[in-house]
Amino acid sequence: MKQDSAQAYNVPDYTLTVEERVLLHLYKFVNIGEVYDFPQDLTQEGISKYIGVHRKHLPRTLRKLMQNEQIEEKSAHIVGLKQKRKVYLLTWKGKITASKLKEQVDSWKVTVVLLDGSKIDMHVVDIPKNSKSLGLEGELTLFDVIRLVEKGVFDCALVKKKIESEKRALFVKEMEESSNEKKMMIYETIMEKAWMDGSLTSSEQIMVEELRKMLGISNEDHKKIEQKIVERHADVKVNRIDIYKNILETAWADGIITPDESAMLNRLKELLGITDEQHRDVEKDIWKGKIRTKENTK
The pLDDT value recorded for residue 5 is 37
Assigned CATH for 7-105: 1.10.10.10
Which of residues 136 and 267 earns the better pLDDT score?
136
The pLDDT value recorded for residue 74 is 94
The mean predicted confidence, pLDDT, of the chain is: 80
Q: Which of 223, 207, 192 is nearest to 260 (CA)?
A: 207
Tell me the per-residue pLDDT of 41-98, one tens digit each, with 9 for 90 and over. Answer: 999 999 998 998 888 889 999 999 999 999 999 999 998 888 899 999 999 999 999 9
The pLDDT value recorded for residue 288 is 74
Quick check: 232 pLDDT over 80?
no
The whole-model pTM stands at 0.58
The residue-averaged pLDDT of 219-237 equals: 71
The pLDDT value recorded for residue 174 is 65
Domain ranges of the chain: 7-105, 108-156, 180-297
The residue-averaged pLDDT of 134-148 equals: 87
The pLDDT value recorded for residue 3 is 43
